Amino acid sequence: MREKRIRRAGLAAGLALTLATVAGCSSDGGDNDEPINTGDESSASPDAEGGEAEDEAALVALYEAYWEAVTASENGEELDSALFEDITTKGVMEQELGRINTYKEQGVLREGAPVIENVTVTVEGDTARIEACKNEADWPLVQDGEQMEGVLPESLTVPHPNGVTAERSDGNWLITGSVPQEEAVISC
């Protein structure tokens, strides 16, 4: 098992943990659903020279892309499943869009982005775990154009552990689920 820590602050427009923690609904770690078939098949191999470093870089990029998709979905007016293609399994995409749609139906959006720091990638063969410290203080909920005060619990507005799992499928890494906060290895 190889572990690498990478420090990132304010990743491009939003690494974010899902609003699921606010709703009291979160992934149970996810069933490893069938990946979204996009036809793009990489030949990356963990045994290839430089494979570990390539996997770590690919997983950090995947994590950034995932939270950019979640942030864009939560901040925007419309849901777009294409944001999650090549990033998540179909099941994770459907779970995220369903959760976010619940808020959109109530006219609730988000503005800004959370701060993500201390990204940690652990790769074991074709599975991986990505954890980071997240703070949602600068990613408020907005309804009818007004910031909703006091809605986010204090536990989300201070650095706290967040994680996802990933698997390599046909040479590409995909997010397969979330890591419950109480199972996080990192501390913030």
Say what the pLDDT of residue 123 is. Answer: 96
Say what the pLDDT of residue 81 is. Answer: 95
**Placement of tokens 């939560």 in the chain:** 74
Mean pLDDT of the chain: 78
Say what the pLDDT of residue 51 is. Answer: 80
Q: How far apart are the first and last CA of the chain?
A: 22
Confidence of residue 50 (pLDDT cuts 50, 70, 90): low
- Exposed, middle or buried: residue 6 (CB in 10 Å: 0-12, 13-18, 19+)? middle
Give the pLDDT confidence of 64-110 residue by residue, as tens digits.
999 999 999 999 988 999 999 999 999 999 999 999 999 999 999 99
CA 110 to mean position of chain CA atoms: 16
Give the β-pairing of 115-124 and 2-6: antiparallel
Q: Which residues pair with 177 in a beta bridge?
A: 165
The larger pLDDT score, comparing residue 156 to residue 38, is at: 156
Mean pLDDT calculated for residue range 111-126: 93
Which amino acid is present at 68?
E
Confidence of residue 46 (pLDDT cuts 50, 70, 90): very low
Say what the pLDDT of residue 150 is. Answer: 87
Q: Is the pTM here over 0.75, yes or no?
A: no
